[in-house]
Amino acid sequence: MKKLKPVHAIFLLSTFGVVSLGVAPLFRPLEIVTPAEAASIPKIGDLSSYRKIVVDTASMVEKGDLVRAKIRIKDLEISWDEAEPSLKPRSPAEWHTIDKAIDRALSNLRASDPDAAACNQSLSELLQLMDVAGGKP
């Protein structure tokens, strides 16, 4: 059997789930993330706060309160734009896709005579995009 160099041994140990190198207190245990867990971590980050605003807005549209929905979606526009420097570099393609969907929803709600069906459609599409980017099935 071929003798492994220390670097190879550390790689193998970390690859196969060893939690600690056993040199406490100098080193903290390694955090093990399985490939399945790594794949489920959203590239773009946590979108739950933005999603909540979209759900709130959609609820207002469903109730026919387009004036309040228009006000509420402004919160999404502001918070999304403020988070751009941290979200966009993580996944530029996803960020642009969601940003364009936000623009469509804003446009529908800000129309001079907003159509509730068009507003519902754009908000529904936005939620779907956020769910996909956020790692929800």
Q: CB under 8 Å to 55, separation ≥6 — which residues?
A: 127
Out of 19-28, 76-85, 101-110, 125-134, pick the least confident: 19-28
The residue ranges of every structural domain in the chain are 6-32, 48-133
Radius of gyration of the chain (CA): 22
Taking alpha carbons only, the member of 53, 90, 88 closest to residue 72 is 53
Q: What is the pLDDT of residues 26-71, one digit of tens each?
A: 455 556 657 766 555 668 889 999 999 999 999 999 999 999 999 9
CB-neighbour burial class of residue 69 (10 A; exposed 0-12, middle 13-18, buried 19+): buried
What does the alpha-carbon distance between residue 88 and residue 108 come to, in Å, rounded to a whole number?
A: 24
CA distances from 69 to 84, 96, 98, 103, 117 (A): 23, 23, 19, 14, 13
Q: Is 23 helix (H, G, I), strand (E, B) or coil?
A: coil
What does the alpha-carbon distance between residue 15 and residue 126 come to, in Å, rounded to a whole number?
A: 38
Within 10 angstroms of residue 87's Cβ, the number of other Cβ atoms is 22
| Of 40 and 11, more confident | 40
Mean pLDDT of the region 3-21: 48
